[in-house]
Amino acid sequence: MEVLLAREPMAEQRLLLKTSSEGIIQQIFGNVEHFSAPWKVGKDVSEIFPFLVTFFPAAPLEMLELPRMIWEKFYLDFLIFRESDDATWILITDVTAEVNEIKEQIQTNNDFILSSSRQFTFENPFGNLHLFNVLSLIKTNENKFVPVGGIPLWAEKYYPAIASVRSGLEIGEAFPYLEVFLPMADAFWQTADETRLEESDMWIENPAGKDELHFRAFAANRHGNHFLFIRLLDQNDIPVSQQTLQKAREHQLLYEKLQKAENKLKQLLQYKDKFVSIVSHDLRSPMASVVSIAEMFLTDEELLACMNDFNREMLQSMKEELVRLLEYNNRLYHWANLELGNFKLDKEKIKVKKLVDSAVQTAQPKTEAKQIDLTSSVTPEDLETEVDVSLFLQVFNNLIGNAVKFTPEGGKITLHVKKEKGKIRYAVSDTGVGMPEKIKKSIFSGVPGESTLGTSGEKGSGLGLDIVKKIVDAHGFSIEVQSEQGKGTTFIITETIPE
């Protein structure tokens, strides 16, 4: 090609790029100015044409002709030829003049017309990859995946549930092998590197127990979003090496063993949760009885008169520790039952102000003990919601209790509820110590954290926020946290009001 190009220059409407196997431009032949793009040697070709991202690192194919593409103001044809492991040629032909002559027909039959809803955008440059047997997904904040762009035909045939998922997909349930790849992808996504892809090994799936399908996955960062691509490999893409196929089958067997171990672990975890639920339930009554006895002693003036100051202090300390232990046991009981799913929402319509007033009243002894100013407001005052009152009060009690724990004496806590734009926004704010970015990111990870001492040495269970998240999720609401060290914390629960 280099010899021929030296003898006869490229036509003005054509451009030939030579790239490395990673898609880095090594040589350019043709009239770059015609295409009005800042192309230069050393640039990643997928930065110019995002839809080429899944072809690098170069797939083991000899030649591939892509469907006609729209890019900027041009209609382009692409021919990709892999010369070797280190060299790939991309021939680009501007066919805009030809297309303009038959534009009406093109607009009827071509998925890549300018007005197409599937056309890639700056935020999602991968909307058309379904035409190349690639399923494109974007990772959500809840560590789930949502399809972006079109759904490839193989996904519609073998994985019909994917096409209807919009709230988020547990991708490992559809493609079990990805449970092995995703930890590597997560590490890659954290690098924020937008110049390369993280590629998985080839693996085999048997959907419906019939056809043997070969896949390869890719992870990519683009414009602050995390993308996952799953590509169905055809016979031209699969290396004929028996060793490669055997490796893919070994991956499948490895996952099957992993899945059996996971199922057994889930069963053991369920037994653990049942055990914790039963034990904590049986401990509640005797512990509550001992707390009542301690309170009775502390209100018996005749008994207290017979004690010295040290004994009275020890009795008061014993009662406080028993109350803390009972509270911890109750949280443990609720957490275990939430883990097991042993609860059913018993929703009822209630005025939000009634909920808020009840939560404030419950928190008053704690806030008064630390001289913390606790205020609340509901806008509008007659605002109503439909929740499980007992469970939702737990949410308020845990959030306010947490705020009391991490707010120094003389601080402020507010519980504000406001209706705005079809949503109810519940916000619990404090002027406490705040939290570092690392804790803020993992606070709703689903794993109960280690309890941290409060500003007055208060001890906790480490389960409160996990219980809050599970109750909020069960109601179909969302929760987020805003916090800055030294400036306090705000927990915001958002409820969407049905129209």
Q: Calculate the dihedral angle through the C-alpha atoms of 295, 301, 304, 309, rounding to the nearest 10 degrees.
A: 100
Token couple for 165: 């998922």
Please indicate, yes or no, whether residues 385 and 437 belong to a single structural domain of this protein.
Answer: yes
Domain count for the chain: 4
Q: Which residues span the domain enclosing 86?
A: 2-109
Please indicate, yes or no, whether residues 163 and 262 belong to a single structural domain of this protein.
Answer: no
CATH of the domain at 77: 3.30.450.20
Q: Which of 316, 342, 368 is the last residue of a domain?
A: 342
Residue 420, CB-side half-sphere exposure with 13 Å CA sphere: 10
Q: What is the pLDDT of residue 268?
A: 64
Alpha-carbon span 87 to 93, nearest angstrom? 20
Q: What is the pLDDT of residue 138?
A: 86
CATH of the domain at 296: 1.10.287
Please indicate, yes or no, whether residues 356 and 462 belong to a single structural domain of this protein.
Answer: yes
Please indicate, yes or no, whether residues 402 and 464 belong to a single structural domain of this protein.
Answer: yes
Give domain status of residue 169, yes or no: yes
Q: Helix or strand or coil: residue 211?
A: coil
Please indicate, yes or no, whether residues 352 and 449 belong to a single structural domain of this protein.
Answer: yes
Please indicate, yes or no, whether residues 338 and 348 belong to a single structural domain of this protein.
Answer: no
Q: What is the pLDDT of residue 383?
A: 92
Q: What is the pLDDT of residue 106?
A: 47
* Packing angle, helices 242-298 and 178-189, rounded to 10: 80
Task: List, in sequence order, every residue forming a beta bridge with 479; answer none if it has no partner.
Answer: 493
CATH of the domain at 210: 3.30.450
Q: Which of 309, 342, 375 is the last residue of a domain?
A: 342
From the list 462, 230, 422, 449, the residue with the least C-alpha distance to 332 is 462
- Find tokens 């039959």 and name the residue: 109
Question: Most distant CA pair in the chain: distance in Å?
Answer: 114
Give domain status of residue 162, yes or no: yes
Please indicate, yes or no, whether residues 415 and 303 belong to a single structural domain of this protein.
Answer: no
Weakly modelled stretches of the chain, pLDDT under 70: 1-12, 36-38, 54, 57-62, 67, 99, 101-127, 163-167, 192, 208-210, 235-260, 263, 266-285, 326, 328-344, 445-464, 499
Please indicate, yes or no, whether residues 274 and 359 belong to a single structural domain of this protein.
Answer: no
Q: What is the pLDDT of residue 278?
A: 61
Give domain status of residue 416, yes or no: yes
Give domain status of residue 200, yes or no: yes
Please indicate, yes or no, whether residues 144 and 231 belong to a single structural domain of this protein.
Answer: yes
Give domain status of residue 247, yes or no: no
Helices (H), 190-239: none
Q: Are 426 and 495 in contact (CB under 8 A)?
A: yes
Q: What is the pLDDT of residue 323?
A: 75
Q: What is the pLDDT of residue 372?
A: 92
Q: Are 434 and 395 in contact (CB under 8 A)?
A: no
411-460 confidence digits (pLDDT tens) = 999 999 999 888 999 999 999 988 888 777 777 765 555 555 556 555 44
Q: Which of 342, 358, 392 is the last residue of a domain?
A: 342
Please indicate, yes or no, whether residues 475 and 400 belong to a single structural domain of this protein.
Answer: yes
Q: Give me the amino acid identity at 471.
A: I
49-81 confidence digits (pLDDT tens) = 777 776 776 555 567 777 677 777 777 888 888
Q: What is the pLDDT of residue 27?
A: 87
